[in-house]
Amino acid sequence: MKNYIAELIGTFALVFCGTGAIVIDQQSGGAVTHVGVAITFGLIIISMIYSLGSISGAHLNPAVSIAFTVSGRFPVKRLPGYIISQITGALLASFILKFLFPANQLLGATIPAGTEMQSFILELILTFFLMLVIINVAVGSKEQGMFAGLAIGAVVGLEAMFAGPICGASMNPARSIAPAIASGHLEHVWIYIVSPVAGAVLAIPVWKYLTS
């Protein structure tokens, strides 16, 4: 149960701060800036990994939990609880943001700027690289150690920095499902469920080949 609570808190923090930065940037006329949003996502990931990594592994992402399970480094029986905790934490964050900023239409939802296929491929590649870093710096299924948080947070910030304006750089089904539900914009959410999971899972056989 401590693991599930840690995942709920960590994913809440990720969505509250990350999508909160997007919402506040819109509400304040661009005070946060796109670069600020990307840095916010990276920093909150770093913070949560260092604070919760030793408890639950700080997956904070259903795609990461699924990929760890596929790799054999995370027990299947824990997977449903992790995913439920992550999505619950994300939903709590999105509905609090909706309460705080009722006039905001998207609440930080990930919407493709171009075609759906463009965003699908981008999200797949982004999550592939993210998982490749995670699986290499994680201890078992736990993201902990001196440099794990920095490495993973840096990748999230980097990918959000350059790909965010086109696909949203979600890399995380929970991060996209919650604002989509809270804002009612569910039309593109399938991309941000299927593509990150596919990208993360695809990273596992590549990692196994490279490290065997």
pLDDT tens for 118-137 read 999 999 999 999 999 999 99
Q: Does domain 2-211 have CATH number 1.20.1080.10?
A: yes
Amino acid identity of residue 188, one-letter, is: H
Which of 124-138, 144-158, 166-180 shows the lowest per-residue confidence on average (mean pLDDT)? 144-158
CB 175 within 8 A of CB 91: no
pLDDT tens for 27-79 read 999 999 999 999 999 999 999 999 999 999 999 999 999 999 999 999 999 99
Residue 139 reports pLDDT greater than 80? no
Distance CA 2, CA 129 (A): 29
pTM: 0.95
Distance of CA 28 to the CA centre of its chain: 24
- What pLDDT, on a 0 to 100 scale, did the predictor assign at position 143? 67
Residue 141 reports pLDDT greater than 70? no
Which of 37-41, 50-54, 138-142, 157-161 shows the lowest per-residue confidence on average (mean pLDDT)? 138-142
